[in-house]
Every structure is written in C-alpha cells, then in structure tokens.
C-alpha cells in the first residue's frame, strides 16, 4: 500500500468508524446478540409460545438494561435509578426504541429476581412506544427450553384502587360467580398448597362487573374477585314503628351482601404442571378469555408474577387481557 492509500485508509477509519472502533471488537461487544440472562435465570411458565415476529429485544439483567444487544442503561441490583425514570417510562429506553427501525412487537428477557417495578417500567415504556404485542422469555414448564409468554392485549397504569377497564370481550360479569363459586372453592381447597379459599356467601350482591386481580406478596399468590360498577347497596334499615313513637321489637339485621371473594396459595402451586390456580379459575376463564389486573409491591421478584400469570392461564386457555399496575417504588 502506498503512502496516499495508507493515509486515506487511516483517515477513513478515524472519521467514519471512530464511533465503533478501528481494528478491535468494541462494536461487536456493544451490539452483542448473545443474551446476558441465561436460560436457567428465566422464570418458568405454563403458558408459552413461539417468539413474536420481528421484535425489538429488551433484556434486563442485574447490571444493565439492553435493547437489541446494546446497553441503554446501567442498573443497580436490577433497579432503575430514580433520576432515569419519568412516571411509568424510562426515557432512554423510549428514545432508543424510537431511533430503532419501527417494529410492532417486543420480547423481554428478564432475570428472574429482577424487581417487579423495573420490569413494569420497561413494559410501561413499550406501551408508551405503541408496541402492540409483548412476549416474556420463559422456560417452558420445568424444561430448559425457551418459550414466550405472549400478550397481544395489555395495558399499563399506576397503582390505583379505581376499578379497571378491560375490553368487553374479556369482561366477566359479577353474577357469573354465584353459580360456580362452590366449585371454585372445592377445587382450591383440594390443593396441598392452599392457604385460604373463600366459601360461597349466603348473600351475594347482585349486578355489576367482576374485577379479577392477581396479587403476589412474599411466597403467596392470591386471586381476588371484586364486584365493581354495580348498583349501590342500601344499608339494612329497621322496620317502621307499629305505633307512632313506639319502635318495633329489635330485629335481626340482615348481613350486607358480599362483594368480594379470594383464593390464596403458596407460590409452589404456580409451578405445578397441573396448577390448582388454573383449575380454580377454569369455571370463569376456561371457555372464554378474562381480563385481569396484575399487582405487586415494587420489590417483588418478576419470576413470581410471570410464573403466577402463566399458571392462571396455561396453554389451552384463552389469552388474557392484562392490566399491569406500576408500583410507585
């Protein structure tokens, strides 16, 4: 190579390739396609499918958040620094998604013990970026094969006690509970990992919608069923006086009609091949899809929520609509 050619080559490297390095493998490391989260570090799930088509790939380890193999943000023990979040969004991840080729789906490969808040901030960012389908990388049951817990109907909101709004196709009515409540309780009670299974109330409030919440804390997982958007219940009142100024004899006041039910298990129930959680929910959600709210404290391990979700809606059941609640901290 003559001097002119050598000079041109060096100048081209400095000006055109400086951002990715010259004569080394820095660029390859920056956009490595090898996942940093191994298969055995993924949550297990009884719901699993193939990878979404042409996704953006989000990966969350204990030390970093990556998009398509490139580090976007350093994490501290899997946590997003407070100054790196804006409400339910991680701005650096949002900007990186906007700069990447437009895609309508995403995968999330999340280290199992990642705090739930971190995962929800990533999901909130995907929703804000108009990503319509997400798929969590999971182990297919107790195997070491990777599958994807896919959701093509999901939403995100801050933690709230306000009744959730889900698509009409996934909304169950409160009156659907009474005919199957006893069956659900008996199924729940038969599990060796049960903690508490609500028995059918004698007086059940009529009308309204049913809100199904999947809640996890510590080593327990709970399905909560609540009546929402129903007609108001009037408080029981004593009968009229027989003679003006002389009240009736004391009467037994009827109990206030029940508006809630709950079924609780130890986490091990979510890992069983034939999960009692799915069996308990089957009368409500086996033949038709359900909408659910997912709720947990920010420090809860992500594996707990994803394994719980997969056990509630395993393969063979309709895909749920999931409203993820983002904890404040």
> What is the C-alpha to C-alpha distance for residues 264 and 277, in angstroms, rounded to an integer?
9
Quote the pLDDT of residue 179. Answer: 97
135 touches 56 (CB < 8 A): no
Lowest mean pLDDT among 29-38, 231-240, 246-255, 266-275: 246-255
To the nearest 10 degrees (0 to 180), the angle between helices 116-128 and 302-312 is 70
State the pLDDT confidence band at 234, using cuts at 50, 70 and 90.
confident
> Tokens 């929520």 label which residue?
305
Show the CA angle centred on residue 164, arms to residues 222 and 43, nearest 5°: 45
Q: What is the pLDDT of residues 141-158, one digit of tens each?
A: 989 999 999 999 999 999
pLDDT at 20 over 70: no
Q: What is the pLDDT of residues 299-317, one digit of tens each?
A: 999 999 999 999 999 999 9
Lowest mean pLDDT among 17-26, 115-124, 168-177, 228-237: 17-26
The ranges of the chain annotated as CATH 3.30.420 are 168-229+257-326
> In sequence order, what DSSP letters do the residues of 308-322 get, joined into one string?
HHHHHS-TTSPPPEE
State the pLDDT confidence band at 254, using cuts at 50, 70 and 90.
confident
Residues ≥6 apart with Cβ < 8 Å to 318:
285, 288, 289, 290
Backbone φ, ψ for residue 92 (5° rounding): -65, -35
> How many Cβ atoms are within 10 Å of 73's Cβ, its own excluded?
18
> In sequence order, what DSSP letters do the residues of 20-75 get, joined into one string?
T-SSSSHHHHHT--S-SS-GGGSPEES--BPPPSS-EEEEE-SSEEEETTEEEEE-
> What is the C-alpha to C-alpha distance for residues 108 and 254, in angstroms, rounded to an integer?
51
pLDDT at 162 over 70: yes
Mean pLDDT (the chain) is 89
Please name the CATH architecture into which domain 168-229+257-326 falls.
2-Layer Sandwich (3.30)
In the numeric block, which tokens belong to residue 202? 């004698």
Answer with the residue of higher pLDDT: 91 or 11.
91
Question: What's the whole-model pTM score?
Answer: 0.86
201 touches 290 (CB < 8 A): no
> Tokens 């909408």 label which residue?
291
């Amino acid at each position: 190579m003559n001097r002119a050619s050598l000079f041109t080559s060096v100048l081209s490297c400095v000006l055109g390739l400086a951002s990715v390095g010259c004569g080394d493998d820095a660029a390859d490391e920056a956009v490595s396609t090898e996942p940093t989260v191994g298969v055995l570090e993924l949550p297990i799930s009884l719901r699993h499918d193939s990878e979404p088509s042409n996704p953006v790939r989000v990966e969350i380890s204990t030390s970093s958040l990556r998009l398509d193999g490139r580090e976007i943000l350093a994490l501290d023990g899997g946590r997003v620094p407070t100054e790196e979040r804006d409400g339910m969004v991680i701005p650096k991840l949002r900007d990186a998604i906007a700069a990447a080729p437009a895609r309508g789906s995403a995968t999330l490969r999340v280290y199992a013990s990642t705090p739930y808040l971190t995962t929800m901030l990533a999901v909130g960012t995907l929703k804000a970026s108009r990503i319509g389908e997400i798929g969590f990388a999971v182990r297919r049951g107790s195997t070491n094969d990777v599958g994807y817990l896919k959701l093509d109907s999901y939403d995100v909101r801050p933690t709230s006690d306000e009744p959730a709004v889900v698509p009409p196709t996934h909304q169950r009515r409160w009156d659907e509970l009474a005919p199957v409540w006893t069956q659900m309780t008996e199924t729940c009670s038969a599990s060796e990992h049960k903690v508490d299974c609500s028995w059918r109330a004698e007086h059940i409030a009529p009308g309204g919608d049913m809100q199904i919440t999947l809640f996890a804390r510590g080593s327990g997982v709970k399905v909560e069923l609540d009546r929402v958007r129903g007609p108001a219940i009037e408080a029981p009142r004593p009968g009229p006086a027989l003679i003006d100024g002389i009240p009736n004899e004391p009467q037994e006041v009827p109990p206030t009609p029940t508006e809630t039910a709950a079924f609780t298990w130890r986490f091990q129930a979510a890992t069983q091949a034939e999960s009692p959680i799915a069996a308990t929910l089957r009368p409500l959600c086996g033949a038709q899809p359900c909408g659910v709210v997912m709720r947990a404290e920010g420090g809860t391990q992500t594996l707990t929520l994803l394994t719980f979700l997969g056990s509630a809606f395993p393969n063979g059941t309709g895909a749920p609509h999931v409203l993820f609640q983002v904890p404040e901290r």
